[in-house]
Chain A
Amino acid sequence: MDISAQKIKELKAFAIKIRIETIKETADLGFGHLGGAMSVVELLAVLYGEVMKIDPKNPDWPDRDWLICSKGHAGPAVYAALALKGYFPLEELSTLNKPGTNLPSHCDRNKTPGIDMTTGSLGQGASLAVGVALGHRLDKRDNYTYLILGDGELQEGQVWEAAMLAAHHGLDRLIAFVDYNKQQLDGYVRDINDPGDISGKFESFGWNAYKADGRDVADILDRIKSAKLAKGKPSVIVLDTIKGQGCTFAEGKLDNHHMTISREQAEEALAVLYKELEEVTGQ
């Protein structure tokens, strides 16, 4: 199926809006896990803007597609996408990490409408996703389970335990994404503990592996469509991303896993993004 130019334009605009809201909510607090939130924005735009079967008015709809963001610290970006889709009011984003909030640093299924799983201790989302996919298969549902992993997260052995089991059960309605932004808290992934050939590793575990440009919504969408055609195996899409991408003061910086954000930095980044949004939407 051809993806229309109009749809791509919409997804690009949606990505910019997610980025704007994520920067706003973290800037409101003055600090946050900005780098790894920015690098999954285009993926979230594609998932929530086009791919996922969801009903924001009925977050617990049993036939929905599930998203498990195992790199739970990307929560603020997911919250922005959810609010923009209407799961909860946009104004609620400014409560991020404030006392009594429904939007904690890491994803919590019991607090946030639309968050399908509680995550934050890295690696655990992978096993949870396998369990969810197995549950759907037992119920003979045709919904998909999407899993977002960080590249640093691949250092957790539990990811590979889950990968082995998912392939063993041929979970072809499980699609994982690796946010390959090449950085982790302590530095570059290649310097800390290099995961090496990520696609090759997943392939050797029995998965279909694809690569996509994680900054290009069209490419991401295209690869997801390919992954859905592959039968009998789970699929992984390794997204080539930049930690902090699309955010002037975070992109390409070394210490951007968790960072302080000044009012001026936020305003500068937002000005650039509003201009981009105008260019994309032509308004």
Chain B
Amino acid sequence: MSIKLAQGGRPDELEMRTCYCNTLMELAARDDRIVVLDADLMKSMGMMPFKLKYPDRAFDVGVQEANMIGVAAGLSATGKVPFAHSFGPFATRRCFDQVFLSAAYARLNVRIVGSDPGITAAYNGGTHMPFEDLGIMRNVPGITIIEPTDAAMLKDIVIQTADLYGVFYIRLLRRNAVRIYEDGSRFEIGKAVPLRDGTDATVFAMGYLVNESLRAADMLAEDGISLRVVNMFTLKPIDKEMIIKCAEETGAIVTAENHSIINGLGSAVAEVLSEHCPVPLRRVGVRDMFGEVGPVDYLAKRFGLTAEDVARNVREAIELKAQRKR
């Protein structure tokens, strides 16, 4: 792991999908095993440059998510390294049996990319707004689940997974993420990344909520509250050691995810805490609801996913810690 933090906390000029396409084209140039698949979202995903340059290795199967996963698994059985994309709900919910059996149970080698996580599905609304994709995929034995936070991490993760074997679910924002890391940063899959030190509580955040958690830390610092922020970009395998360490050192935990609190990051952290180091826990996430249409900032407020929501939950967790000591 070799990480440099970027300054500023501003949206990146580079879209995540452009970074994804560029990285795959770089990989494809030196590795003829790389193939990409899509279910009629190649344009949405910004993959046309790849398709133009490598037409034989870009399979747009049309609107057939289940078939796409099976074809990807079949290609991998012949030694290819497939990256198969659709919107998050259709890359998981729609084709779960194919992911589970054709790819994972068969021990094949498939990277599944689900885009527009949670509220970032915005104007596509509830039908396209996955609050459950991570929870669904967590049930697949041996799967690796990653939500890259920004383009620097995305590039590194895509390159790393190309040389690994197994089934991966990569949850991917298509548009501009807030830049957290400098280019060239290297990450270790399964190892959470501390972003800011703190002593009163720890927030474990993923994806969209990473920057919101950093903002919450700034807000709380004004009141003299010291919040540790850890980027839990790998949901599975979960970094158990980091969770236990932070629980022991700060005594209060908050999770923050652009996803349902059921079977996502909140559940995963709760499972580790309750078995190994029970400390007060608050979970920021969607509370058993369907999505709806709207701009991202509206949806963040609607579903309780803002920096203010993180800060409020941190205060509550710290209060619970204090009550326990009394």
List the interface of chain A (C-beta within 8 A of B).
108-110, 116-118, 120-121, 123-124, 126-136, 138-139, 157-158, 161-162, 164-165
Contacts and interface: CB of A to CB of B under 8 A. Distances in A.
Given A135-B79, A158-B66, A165 B71 contact: yes
15 contacts: A109-B77, A117-B106, A118-B101, A127-B71, A127-B73, A130-B67, A131-B71, A132-B75, A134-B71, A135-B75, A135-B80, A157-B66, A165-B62, A165-B64, A165-B67
Most B CB atoms within 10 A — which of A109, A126, A138? A138
Q: Is the interface of B mostly helix, strand, loop or mixed?
A: helix
A134 B73 CA distance: 11
Given A109-B77, A130-B74, A138-B35, 6 more contacts: A127-B74, A132-B74, A132-B75, A135-B77, A138-B57, A164-B64
A109 B97 CA distance: 17
B106 A118 contact: yes
Nearest to B78: A135
A270 B106 CA distance: 34
B67 A158 contact: yes
Interface residues of B, number: 29
A139 B101 CA distance: 25
Contacts of B57: 138
Interface in B69-86: 69-80
B309 to A, nearest CB: 40
Instruction: Name the 9 nearest CB pairs between A and B, nearest first.
Output: A131-B74, A127-B70, A135-B78, A118-B106, A161-B67, A131-B71, A128-B74, A161-B64, A132-B74
A165 B69 CA distance: 13
Contact of B56 (A130, A138, A162): A138
Most B CB atoms within 10 A — which of A126, A129, A131? A131
Most B CB atoms within 10 A — which of A109, A124, A128, A133? A128
A132 B78 contact: yes
A103 to B, nearest CB: 17
B105 interface: yes
Contacts of B70: 124, 126-128, 130-131, 158, 162
B105 A129 contact: no
A131 B101 contact: no
Contacts of A162: 67, 70-71
B61 interface: yes
Contacts of B75: 131-132, 134-135, 138
B20 interface: no
A120 B106 CA distance: 11
Contact of B78 (A118, A126, A139, A164): A139
B72 A131 contact: yes
A133 B77 CA distance: 10
Contacts of A161: 61, 64, 66-67
B261 to A, nearest CB: 30
B74 A134 contact: yes
A118 B102 CA distance: 7
Most A CB atoms within 10 A — which of B56, B71, B73? B71
Contacts of A138: 35, 56-57, 75, 78, 80
B78 A136 contact: yes
Given A131-B74, A132-B74, A110 B107 contact: yes
B106 A129 contact: no
Given A132-B77, A134-B74, A127 B101 contact: no
B77 A131 contact: yes
A239 to B, nearest CB: 23
Contacts of B98: 124, 127, 158
B59 interface: yes
B106 A109 contact: yes
B99 to A, nearest CB: 11
A134 B107 CA distance: 19
Contacts of B97: 121, 124
A157 B72 CA distance: 18
A165 B101 contact: no
